[in-house]
Structure 1
Amino acid sequence: MKALRRQTLTKAIQWSLLLALPGVAAAQETPPASDATTLDTVQVTGTRIKKAEIESQTPVQTLTREDIERTGLTSIGDIVQELTGSGSALNTKFNSSGNFGFSPNGDGVGAGSAQVDLRHLGPKRVLVLVDGLRWVNESSASGVGAATDLNTIPLALVERIEVLEDGASSLYGSDAIAGVVNIITRRNFDGGQVTLNYGEYGEGDGTLQGVDLAWGMNTDKLNLFLGASYVDQDAVYSKDREQARFPIPGTGLSFGSSATPNGRFVFFPDTANALCPAIDHDEDPATPDRPFCNITTPNGSSFPGGVSYPNDFIGFGTANRFNFAEYNMVLTPSKRSGVFGQLRYYFNDNIHWYAKALYNRRESVNQAAPEPLFFGPDAGTGNPFADDITISGLNPHNPFGIDLISSGAGANLVLIGRRPVEGGARIFEQQVDTQYVATGLEGSFDAAERTWFWDVNAAYSKNEADQTNRGSYNIRNVNIALGDPAVCAATPGCVPLNIFGGPGTITPQMLQWIQPIVRDRSEQELTQFTANISGDLLEMWAGPLSFAGGYEFRKYEGSYQPDPITVAGFYNGVPSLPTSGEYDVNEVYVEFNVPLFKDSPFGKGLDLSLAGRYSDYSTFGGQFTPKYGLRWQVADELLFRATYAEGFRAPSIGELYGSASRADLQIDDPCLIGVDGSPATGNPANCTALGVPPGAAQSNSQISVTTGGNDQLEPETARSFTAGMVFSPAFASDVSWSQKLDFEVTFYRHAIEGAVQAIDAQTQLDLCVDTLDPLFCDGITRSSVGSINGFNNRLTNLGSIKTSGWDADVFWTLPETSFGQFKLSWQNTFVTRYDAVGAAGQVQPRTVGIEVTDSAIPDWTSTATLDWHMDRWNAAWTVRHLSELKEDCGDAASFPICSDGAIVGTDDAGDPIWAGTNKLDATTYHDIQLGYRFDWLKGLQLTGGVNNLFNEDPPICLSCSLNGYDASNYDIPDGRYFYVRADLRF
């Protein structure tokens, strides 16, 4: 256990101008049944003090039920990802199993989940609350995640979503570095409601069907709400989208896989022939020439009777590569069903009891191309059954008549890649069950002529996930089936495997021996207890000194159990080992609101807010986090605000205890000739020192990178500062051309020290080649032919992450006329800085305006919505904009698709050499919606809309892992989406 330096409240208060986004809009439900239920209406995210006068003390953005319905979306995650302050996060547009591998954080991939990222600081640095209490972290049967899966919370139970875009560790504890998302559930509801949703893309796929049911009742003593939800989202396949049909759009098969249905065979035969000529691979005249084969059979050819060498073979080239992209999904299917209930009983006006329960099931599917089999030292899988193999010359299907040996005496094998399409695509099916129960008492009492508010709460939540994987292989059984036939014959069930004869020659009997069903499981549990009290301590010269304080206990438990064949090292896919761990935390906090002056020559009022929290963790010890704020009401129409906060994030169970796992990443090896034939860019002398022979080529652009937890991690620490203003000019209030006009501007700055992260793998490799520093090179190993066959990239407390920017918003409500009433909201986020530096000073590639590793930070994101209401009609037009980005083309720089790269020369063949930078043009989406309300029962609302009206395609991304675009920032290709909704109340 490592005790951290305990921080104290000695830092100077830094203040300037702080803007808070709009306050809580009025709920659309039935008014509360008793005065006691109004307590929560003045409890807002960003303060623990229950007082309406300070509800706008922090920058909180509120999405009302009307805002949610205007989007036409059915997932909380998809909705919050459209906020201008959101960053890159997983969603159903990520086909996140298969070769997408494991998270660089070593905590698993949330396959099928939807997460939220604020200020581009990562989903694990955003705290998700439901009615002010923490929600359990995700489980997706691939690890113990550090983020929250918003697909475990049905949208139907949501009344509003409050988003605090400010550091809040002093109020809420760990994880609230980038902000807080507080989901407020529907409560005061009288009657019933049935909502039907249907939508599909313009291509006729991606169909969504959903039904939501709600019923509630209110009496003088009782408040009851019951809800149920079902959403069924169909898949969209890459093969049905032109942009997504190839690994990198515009390059054809150049970046396809060398593991093909016909096989690729790279080895040194005993004798030379025209197909496999003698070549001096050692570049040494004293060394005899050695025959070398890089061969395959013609595309689509099959030799069930046995392939003949060399007659049936041809040289392997770009045209023989395999297009794995067309097997992927652009949108993954997801079924979500949930039930929710909430009961409140009022003993009297001063105390009531509540109970809540939720059960939700998510069933999702990811799909990847038929799993490749790679053998030999160039395979780089890290599995000895594949990398260090001997394929027997006695195997009845081996046409070469010699043993193919990976290492040791007589080593002659470099690489064999075979794609058993006979086994079908890899299918990853997740079933995630979420359970949540909570109960508590809330009340008030009077003391010393003042009213105090209190609450005690207990909650338990659990996520359980099972993943079933079909289409993968048992590499141990493959090894036996390719080895000595006598050993295979003595092994029950073994059938000699044919990887040489082309597609269709792997029989069902062979598949039965080598193809298992792989089942993985993970779960996370959160138990919590909280107690809070709030009120006015005393009357001061400028008003009451308000106070809030409380205690919180939390216990986290998590585990991941991969399939037994994975634990044994027999799984051909991404390797991993079991993970389990737990920790608990005890916390106390206090918050004050101090009025400094009121109705003075300096303005209408100035308030100082002070907050602090002490957290005692069982894993690392204690941590204190303070927060300071100023709110200066200059006049009725002008407000200035500022906050300064310190925060921290404790390492998660997966980050601390996660076992080694693998991600297959697109990495350009600077020491090797590129897969497209481009020359090596690394220092030749350094590459030689690393064991790379001259002329060595990269056979596969995907390199397996091992990640994993580190129990020596310390908490991240953070400093956050926000400042801004809100101006509501009197000349634009209740006049002929304007009912209300608000201008809001906010500056934000976040600085994180000791961020838990692995150094970017491409950056680590480049630094290793440039410097030969063991800090970067340790953990990277190479085969005898120079290719990387091991890449260890572990978690550490990275140096720092610093980001800053501005929010600038306009909200304008026009007067109601005979043409109806219009409202305009225009929200903008400008990111001016994002720098990430490793512990040894190495600069990470992620920064403003740059696309890297399937995510980007646009320097400007903007959303403008024009809303219209007239009698029974309503309509909305929303415009979403992202500024242009740039990316390093990598090996794709030799293609004209690298659009922003000027020609800087020609190669030996006279073909152009491009500069290597691709511009992702600015993108604008238009969404429209139209609705009409019928007076049938309590109201029937019919709504229809189109998202991405003009069918804007995302810009082509050459560095993105799948589907040729950044799924975290853009709509899918050919993404015009039509939807209708019917909402009946009774």
Structure 2
Amino acid sequence: MVIPQPRLLAVAICAALPLIVPVAASAQDADPTTLDSVTVTGSRIKQSELETHVPVQVLTREDIDRSGFKSVSDIVQNLTASGAGLNTKFNSSGNFGFPPDGGGVGAGAATVDLRHLGPKRVLVLVDGIRWVNESSGSGVGSAVDLNTIPLALVDRIEVLEDGASSIYGSDAIAGVVNIITRKNVQGGDIELHYGTYDDLGGDTWGADMGYGGGTDRLQWFVGASYFKQEEISSLEYGPASIPVPGTGLSNGSSATPQGRFVFLDPDTGLVHDLTTNTGVTDPTFVPGQECARTDGFHCFATADRFNFAPYNLLLTPSERKTVFAQARFAFTDSVGGYIRALYNERQSANQAAPEPFFLGTDAGIYNHWGESSLVISALNPHNPFGFDLTTMGADPNLFLLGRRPVEGGPRRYEQDVETWYVAAGLDGSFDVRDRPWSWDVNVVRSESSAEQTNYGSYNLRRINEALGDPTACAAIAGCVPLNLFGGAGTITPEMLAFIQPVVRDESENTLTLVSANITGALFQLPAGPLGFAAGYEYRKYEGRYQPDPITVAGEYNGVPSGPTAGDYDVNEIYAEVAIPLMSNPERGSALDMSIAGRYSDYSTFGGESTGKLGLRWQVAEELVLRGSFAQGFRAPSIGELYGTLSRFDATLVDPCSGAGATRPECVAQGVPPDYVQTNPQISVVTSGNADLQPETSRSVMLGAVWSPSFASNATWSERMDLGLTFYKHTIEDAIQAPDAQVILNRCVFDADPFSCASYDRSERGQIIRFDDILDNLGTIRTDGWDLSLGWLLPEQDWGQLRFDAKATFVGEYELVNESGQAEPRAPGVEVNNSAIPEWTSTLSTQWSKGPWAVAWTVRHIDELRESCGGAIGFDICDDSANDLNTLDATTYHDLQLSWNSDAWMRGMRVSLGVNNVTGEDPPICLSCSLNGYDAATYDLPGRFFYARVGLRF
């Protein structure tokens, strides 16, 4: 471990001092009376909640119970400032493969995204200390899986919606989610819960248990949590059971159970595009009517495409088991210690349609066995054409063979993930000239490891052997000549036994952390004590991903990937001061400033300094103005640095396909006039980049909190709080790969040299190479407003009412690529399973009287628009002339009735609720990859009914 020189502490402080920029602080909505000093997310200096200079939204246990949700991810993903985070509604396996973020799909995980800047730019803490990144057997993840933290452990969730790299280090660009665990628990509690979706199923049930106690010196708490969620097939919801609702089979796959065969007949010199007559679903079809064939084949057409959607999942299964314990012991009145431990196990699954075979020269250049070394022998008893079909030599004649082996069943990806976490530390307090000081030292070791087992994939080398010379096949143990030409049902169990392996991938993320902090008052100023905090932190990240040996050998028919392994460490020091500039207690006014600086020394790229400045002006007892300016950075993750070449299958629309083939730009690329894109999914290669540099950012926040005196202790209002916050984030050198569709469009329409160099075409026009490698390419700019209202009415004979409203307006979101052009993401736009609504809002109303309470919550998502893409001309595209499809505004209503009584034991609570009372369906989305809607933005269709029973003893 490299310990930084003491002089670096001064460097960190000095780095922050010049940042004298007008700012405002956003404190959480809290009572303006004097509070005990505590550590609040966004500052290391102990202070009262109202004194913070940054916006911190606190979700209490009551808020969590009232929401009706049973996971941390569902809670935070429904904040108005949240963007598109991964969750269990997102069936993220199969063709998603390894998207160009260096981290794999993280199937079965759940993440949080703030300000639409991505989960990798949100720091997740538990009791102020970092949590290990996710591992799901499909890459080296760079975000925390919130499913590893059960709600049974949570006391409250604090969400900082501001940059905080100078306080917490890397990743805190968009904000911080700090999960505060339960402490000082006396006695036990148990809660049982059950829920289900009407007409869909997807039953969920589980139990949370906890027990705590203590003595004068010892305080302890132990607990366990169990959660199980059943899957829902896409067949249960009509729009999810076709590739893109309203477009028929146009976006279906050309790999079908009957097969698609594009080849050149060496005897005639003619190119054929055929499929078998078996399994034809069109009742008007007469064999031989197309291509004038009478040999059991006809020309391939849109009606022959395969509908893969029914094999997907609308809700993925997940089973989670957690045990946890923590204890605190006071050695003396001023020195104590703690230990905290957690073990979490998750079994989850994702599912995709039967894995297709794409063989031939037009299938791409990413697989040696299927695209450059294949010979389907004329001697193969199942080859109906009487000549070799080959991809080899100077004159290959097999351009594409697409076959969907439904006989082998769907692809099923099952994850088994284990996460353990152990933290221990010492803390204490002392006085210096009657001024209180406190300190703490912490050690953390945590690991997340996973195995993903894939059923339903194939070995391409063995497919090659089974399609070749039968004599050579007979010499290989288990080899049986393979039939890809006879239609559905002609691949026998013996054929499957030879070509269908079980594929196992593994991944692991490890975190080692040591930190020390001290905070107190340096001396007294005329306006109050000068607060100070300083500390040191050492972190080491280690990660690896090991795909199955057949994948490493290049024999895997599915989405190939290479192994990844790497590590890095960082030494950091920071300092923070809180300076009272003016105080007038008689008028209730005060002005203070906070300054923070951090220096980080990374083993991968060297040193980096960040700073933050905040101002808070309490104009009067009822009005606070505040703001902040912050520098930030995010270090590239292990996957982004060391990820090896992998592939994901992107759904793209080739502008040169069909009528577009005659465009001059397409002709210049060598596209023939009769070119039609064979498949809507095009294989794209991505990889990490060891030369990546950190992202840097600037964040500005200005805000106000007003608690009008005329609304306090009045006949019509006990209390009212109004908040308004403006935010702005700018990220430079953003780590990204350009959007693949944008690359295609820029090459064709703008002749951009970088874009045109990213892909190659075959002589027939098909795209056979597409590279999309990570780099420091972009600049992201976003700004907007947060509004909040809290209103508590006086208690009456009929009960008491409370209203809480929050809304977020996104004014700007612009992602500028390496060519200075804006990518398609913008406010009010849906792109590839990721939406940025201009407005999102929630209104929560609660009535209570005695043991009874009724909560009604309204969640609103503004209207969105998207490009029609390949759906132009279909009814589902409501503005084809402008290439636009509209996703209507969506409003969800949630209702809960609860009864809470202390009449039995220490207390009992019963809750009955319905989320999405009106059964609102999500709007149909054309650019979304699965199930016809954006699962990261909208609820599942239909109502969710739930019941909970809790007992304290």
Does structure 2 conserve the Cα–Cα contact (< 8 Å) formed by 1:7 and 1:625? no
**1:837-878, Cα deviation, whole Å (9 max, x unpaired):** 112213211111111111010000000000111101011000
- Provide the C-alpha distance between the structure 2 equivalents of 1:621 and 1:830, rounded to a whole number of angstroms: 38
Give the alignment of 1:387-536 within 5 angstroms.
387-388=371-372, 389-536=374-521
* CA shift for structure 1 position 384: 2.1
1:294 aligned onto 2:287: no
Does structure 2 conserve the Cα–Cα contact (< 8 Å) formed by 1:262 and 1:296? yes
1:597 aligned onto 2:582: yes
Give the alignment of 1:120-131 within 5 angstroms.
120-131=116-127
* CA shift for structure 1 position 291: 4.8
Amino acid aligned to 1:470: Y
- Structure 1 unaligned blocks of 5 or more: 27-37, 273-288, 302-306, 674-679, 903-914
Q: Which moved more, 1:633-642 or 1:342-351?
A: 342-351
- Provide the C-alpha distance between the structure 2 equivalents of 1:24 and 1:797, rounded to a whole number of angstroms: 44
Aligned to 2:548: 563
What is the aligned length? 932
What value does the CA root-mean-square deviation take over the aligned residues? Answer: 2.1
Q: Secondary structure at the match of 1:292?
A: strand
Aligned to 1:328: 312
13, 19, 27: which one aligns with 2:20: 13
Compared CA separation, residues 734 and 769, structure 1 to 2 (3 A): same
Aligned to 1:917: 884
Compared CA separation, residues 318 and 682, structure 1 to 2 (3 A): closer
**1:253-308, Cα deviation, whole Å (9 max, x unpaired):** 12111111111111222456xxxxxxxxxxxxxxxx7353333323269xxxxx99
1:606 aligned onto 2:591: yes
* CA shift for structure 1 position 358: 0.3
Compared CA separation, residues 660 and 22, structure 1 to 2 (3 A): farther
Q: Secondary structure at the match of 1:504?
A: coil
- Provide the C-alpha distance between the structure 2 equivalents of 1:292 and 1:451, rounded to a whole number of angstroms: 85
Does structure 2 conserve the Cα–Cα contact (< 8 Å) formed by 1:24 and 1:62? no
* CA shift for structure 1 position 533: 0.4
Compared CA separation, residues 379 and 608, structure 1 to 2 (3 A): same
Give the alignment of 1:90-489 within 5 angstroms.
90-270=86-266, 290-299=270-279, 310-380=294-364, 382-388=366-372, 389-489=374-474
Aligned to 1:985: 952
Aligned to 1:854: 833
1:882 aligned onto 2:861: yes
Give the alignment of 1:651-690 within 5 angstroms.
651-673=636-658, 680-681=659-660, 684-690=663-669
Does structure 2 conserve the Cα–Cα contact (< 8 Å) formed by 1:43 and 1:55? no
Compared CA separation, residues 40 and 707, structure 1 to 2 (3 A): farther
Compared CA separation, residues 560 and 874, structure 1 to 2 (3 A): same
TM-score by length of 1: 0.92
Aligned to 1:805: 784
Aligned to 2:5: none
Does structure 1 conserve the Cα–Cα contact (< 8 Å) formed by 2:23 and 2:613? no
Compared CA separation, residues 537 and 18, structure 1 to 2 (3 A): closer
**1:813-844, Cα deviation, whole Å (9 max, x unpaired):** 01111111111001000000000011221321
- Structure 2 unaligned blocks of 5 or more: 1-11, 282-286
- Provide the C-alpha distance between the structure 2 equivalents of 1:211 and 1:551, rounded to a whole number of angstroms: 39
Does structure 2 conserve the Cα–Cα contact (< 8 Å) formed by 1:682 and 1:770? no
Does structure 1 conserve the Cα–Cα contact (< 8 Å) formed by 2:337 and 2:425? yes
Does structure 1 conserve the Cα–Cα contact (< 8 Å) formed by 2:527 and 2:580? yes
Amino acid aligned to 1:134: R
Aligned to 2:557: 572
- Provide the C-alpha distance between the structure 2 equivalents of 1:165 and 1:505, rounded to a whole number of angstroms: 58
Compared CA separation, residues 53 and 89, structure 1 to 2 (3 A): closer
Amino acid aligned to 1:712: D
- Provide the C-alpha distance between the structure 2 equivalents of 1:218 and 1:24, rounded to a whole number of angstroms: 31
* CA shift for structure 1 position 777: 2.0
Compared CA separation, residues 813 and 603, structure 1 to 2 (3 A): closer
* CA shift for structure 1 position 54: 5.8
- Provide the C-alpha distance between the structure 2 equivalents of 1:501 and 1:251, rounded to a whole number of angstroms: 28
858, 879, 892: which one aligns with 2:871: 892
- Provide the C-alpha distance between the structure 1 equivalents of 2:214 and 2:660, rounded to a whole number of angstroms: 72
- Provide the C-alpha distance between the structure 1 equivalents of 2:49 and 2:493, rounded to a whole number of angstroms: 72
Aligned to 1:277: none
Aligned to 1:640: 625
929, 935, 946: which one aligns with 2:896: 929
- Provide the C-alpha distance between the structure 1 equivalents of 2:452 and 2:31, rounded to a whole number of angstroms: 40
- Provide the C-alpha distance between the structure 2 equivalents of 1:46 and 1:944, rounded to a whole number of angstroms: 36
Does structure 2 conserve the Cα–Cα contact (< 8 Å) formed by 1:268 and 1:293? no
777, 788, 791: which one aligns with 2:767: 788
Amino acid aligned to 2:79: L
Does structure 1 conserve the Cα–Cα contact (< 8 Å) formed by 2:123 and 2:172? yes
- Provide the C-alpha distance between the structure 2 equivalents of 1:681 and 1:10, rounded to a whole number of angstroms: 58
Compared CA separation, residues 500 and 626, structure 1 to 2 (3 A): same
Aligned to 2:670: 691
- Provide the C-alpha distance between the structure 1 equivalents of 2:23 and 2:585, rounded to a whole number of angstroms: 20
Does structure 2 conserve the Cα–Cα contact (< 8 Å) formed by 1:22 and 1:56? no
Does structure 2 conserve the Cα–Cα contact (< 8 Å) formed by 1:265 and 1:296? no
* CA shift for structure 1 position 808: 0.7
Q: Secondary structure at the match of 2:166?
A: helix
- Provide the C-alpha distance between the structure 2 equivalents of 1:437 and 1:353, rounded to a whole number of angstroms: 14
* CA shift for structure 1 position 380: 2.5
Q: Which moved more, 1:313-322 or 1:113-122?
A: 313-322
- Provide the C-alpha distance between the structure 2 equivalents of 1:176 and 1:326, rounded to a whole number of angstroms: 40
- Provide the C-alpha distance between the structure 1 equivalents of 2:271 and 2:479, rounded to a whole number of angstroms: 33
* CA shift for structure 1 position 215: 0.3
Compared CA separation, residues 25 and 73, structure 1 to 2 (3 A): farther
Compared CA separation, residues 682 and 262, structure 1 to 2 (3 A): closer
* CA shift for structure 1 position 39: 12
Q: Secondary structure at the match of 1:378?
A: helix
- Provide the C-alpha distance between the structure 2 equivalents of 1:241 and 1:964, rounded to a whole number of angstroms: 10
587, 594, 615: which one aligns with 1:630: 615
Aligned to 1:31: none
- Provide the C-alpha distance between the structure 2 equivalents of 1:944 and 1:56, rounded to a whole number of angstroms: 37
1:966 aligned onto 2:923: no
Does structure 1 conserve the Cα–Cα contact (< 8 Å) formed by 2:928 and 2:934? yes
Does structure 1 conserve the Cα–Cα contact (< 8 Å) formed by 2:15 and 2:597? no
- Provide the C-alpha distance between the structure 2 equivalents of 1:700 and 1:651, rounded to a whole number of angstroms: 34
- Provide the C-alpha distance between the structure 2 equivalents of 1:351 and 1:24, rounded to a whole number of angstroms: 31
Aligned to 1:954: 922
742, 745, 748: which one aligns with 2:724: 745
* CA shift for structure 1 position 41: 6.8
- Provide the C-alpha distance between the structure 2 equivalents of 1:932 and 1:41, rounded to a whole number of angstroms: 34
857, 860, 863: which one aligns with 2:842: 863
Aligned to 1:836: 815
* CA shift for structure 1 position 223: 0.5
- Provide the C-alpha distance between the structure 1 equivalents of 2:535 and 2:302, rounded to a whole number of angstroms: 65
Identity, % of aligned pairs? 58
- Provide the C-alpha distance between the structure 2 equivalents of 1:24 and 1:962, rounded to a whole number of angstroms: 46
- Provide the C-alpha distance between the structure 1 equivalents of 2:222 and 2:357, rounded to a whole number of angstroms: 51
Q: Secondary structure at the match of 1:700?
A: coil
Compared CA separation, residues 40 and 512, structure 1 to 2 (3 A): farther
Aligned to 2:6: none
**1:82-113, Cα deviation, whole Å (9 max, x unpaired):** 00000011100111111122232122111000
- Provide the C-alpha distance between the structure 1 equivalents of 2:17 and 2:648, rounded to a whole number of angstroms: 44
Q: Secondary structure at the match of 1:670?
A: coil
